[in-house]
Amino acid sequence: MSTDKAQAMAPAISVVVLSYDRVHLLERTLTTCLRPETSDGVPFEIVVVDNHPDRLAEGLIARLAATTDVPLTYLGDPRRNVSIVRNIGIHAARGRYVAFIDDDEAPDPHWLSELYACLERTGADAAFGPKHPVFESGTAPTWDPQGWRYTLDYQEPADAPIHLFGRLRKKGKGLGSGNAAFRVATCFNTAEPFSVAFGDGNGEDTHLLFRLALSGKRFVWCPSAMVR
């Protein structure tokens, strides 16, 4: 497919990635997202929002954009507030769904197509997948031999509903926007989906999820959409 055709095709889902100073890890994230088996033919785009004043990721994005037909957009904002850059990514996204993946995460095969299929199948407003750690030493630390501190896995069946009140935290683990996909029309239909009041001290994810839950939005678990 030519770049012109890829640009003309409206993406079904937009992947938004935030970056500050982990460009070496961001490259791993993006190159695995761009592998064909990650999306399985689902039309998608990637929007990278760089939060570093020196625009550290700009060169990487330009290099990768020259090697792929997947639309790859680079944006930057130096203000140190995660909600600001999340909102910038959302407003730039063209897909009817937005998926977030952190810049230190790499998706398993079929990650994006599984999130997309889950939302299409269930009609839910948001879907969440598990996050498992990879340790540089090859093994978890002795003080946490199972790697529990770094793992988020509810071990629920596919499409299981997540009832936020009483289930936001399961065994001490809270949901967030990392490895999650949202329906834009129902979740991001305001000027400021993530409140900037929380963006410089964390808590913006929890605030958004509670606000969505209070308005009756449905969340589901997608165990096949794994990141590491």
Query: What is the DSSP secondary-structure string of the chain?
Result: --HHHHHHSPPSEEEEEEESS-HHHHHHHHHHHTSHHHHTT--EEEEEEE-STT-TTHHHHHHHHTT-SS-EEEEE--S--HHHHHHHHHHH--SSEEEE--TT--BPTTHHHHHHHHHHHH--SEEE--B----TTSS--TTSTT-GGG-B---PPTT-B--HHHHSEETTEE--STTEEEEHHHHS-SS-SS-TTTTTTS-HHHHHHHHHHHTT--EEE-TT--B-
pLDDT tens by residue, 197-216: 887 777 899 899 999 999 99
Q: How many domains does the chain have?
A: 1
Look at residue 228 and tell me if it is in a domain. Answer: no
pLDDT tens by residue, 175-186: 888 899 999 999
Look at residue 17 and tell me if it is in a domain. Answer: yes
Q: Which amino acid is at 33?
A: C
Look at residue 73 and tell me if it is in a domain. Answer: yes
Look at residue 110 and tell me if it is in a domain. Answer: yes
Mean pLDDT of 42-48: 98
Look at residue 170 and tell me if it is in a domain. Answer: yes
pLDDT tens by residue, 106-163: 999 999 999 999 999 999 999 999 999 999 888 989 999 888 888 889 889 999 999 8
Quote the mean pLDDT of the chain.
91
**Local confidence band at 168 (pLDDT 50, 70, 90 cut-offs):** very low
- What span, in angstroms and rounded, lies between the C-alpha atoms of 113 and 209? 23
pLDDT tens by residue, 2-33: 344 444 578 999 999 999 888 999 999 999 99
Look at residue 12 and tell me if it is in a domain. Answer: yes
- CATH number of the domain within which 142 lies: 3.90.550.10
Phi and psi angles of residue 28, each rounded to the nearest 5 degrees, phi first: -60, -45
Structural domain for 135, as ranges: 3-221
Give the whole-number percent of the chain exceeding pLDDT 70. 93
Residue 95: predicted pLDDT: 98
Q: What is the pTM of this model?
A: 0.92
Look at residue 227 and tell me if it is in a domain. Answer: no
Look at residue 226 and tell me if it is in a domain. Answer: no
